[in-house]
Amino acid sequence: MQLRFRNLTKSYGQCPVLDDISIDMPDAHALVVIGPSGGGKTTLLRIIAGLERPDSGEVNIDGVALNFDETHLLLHRRSIGTVFQAFNLFPHLTALENVVLPLERVHGYDHIQAVEVAETILSRFQLMSHADKKPAQLSGGQQQRVAIARAIAIKPKFLLFDEPTSALDPEMTSEVLDIIGELRDEGRDLVLVTHHMGFARMVADHCLFIDGGKIVENGPVESLFTEPHSRELQQFLGRVMRY
């Protein structure tokens, strides 16, 4: 996946969140975005996902500039898989129905095709025994696995993960991180915002460190973790990797 940002800015009211970000990443297979809370990580991810419009600047994905009018954004959103920390499952639908619905309503599958695809993916994630349960009947880890199943069912161009384990306990976190690692190993392109530094170091090949709305450092993930150059990244890693 090729990613390029040019002079990207975003503010909420009088509060700047992204401050004139520019970068070229010609081969970002597994990109992890790290940094302190409020630094701009999630906003950047939501702009890539087409869920937020920047105030100014350009986003280019695989050589194509992202058009921020609503018609083009709708098509863009349909082409990628996004997984959020809050699961975002429909509470009145079963696990199976949560995967089937976008296949039918958005991607034009007939009901039989959609069910076949959904059952195949749920089986892969050991969820078929829970297919008829609604989200409230599932554990947090199971809900997030359903959300990931829904994201990959549409055969997305790439996957976006925004703190996908922040609401989970350690055992459930391991389940979800294992799945993300498997998807990376399959060759799927992904962008991940996470506070799990060990996992970030293991799964990613490229890393962005964002602080104060700016990209302070970027490069191969191992280089940033072993030889951070900026004082900001040194202090951040010192805090989050202390325990």
Domain segments of the chain as ranges: 1-80+160-243, 89-155
What integer pLDDT is reported at residue 243 of this predicted model? 63
User: What average pLDDT does range 190-200 have in this prediction?
Assistant: 89
- CB of 78 closer than 8 Å to CB of 24: no
What does the angle CA 114 – CA 190 – CA 242 come to, to the nearest 5 degrees? 130
Dihedral sign for Cα atoms in the order 125, 126, 128, 129: negative
Range name among 32-41, 83-92, 101-110 with the lowest pLDDT average: 83-92
User: What average pLDDT does range 134-163 have in this prediction?
Assistant: 93
Domain 1-80+160-243, what fold? Rossmann fold (3.40.50)
Reply yes or no on whether the pLDDT at 112 is more than 70.
Answer: yes
Enter the pTM of the model. Answer: 0.91
User: What average pLDDT does range 199-228 have in this prediction?
Assistant: 92
What integer pLDDT is reported at residue 7 of this predicted model? 96
What integer pLDDT is reported at residue 224 of this predicted model? 94
- At 31-52, the pLDDT tens digits run 999 999 889 999 999 999 999 9
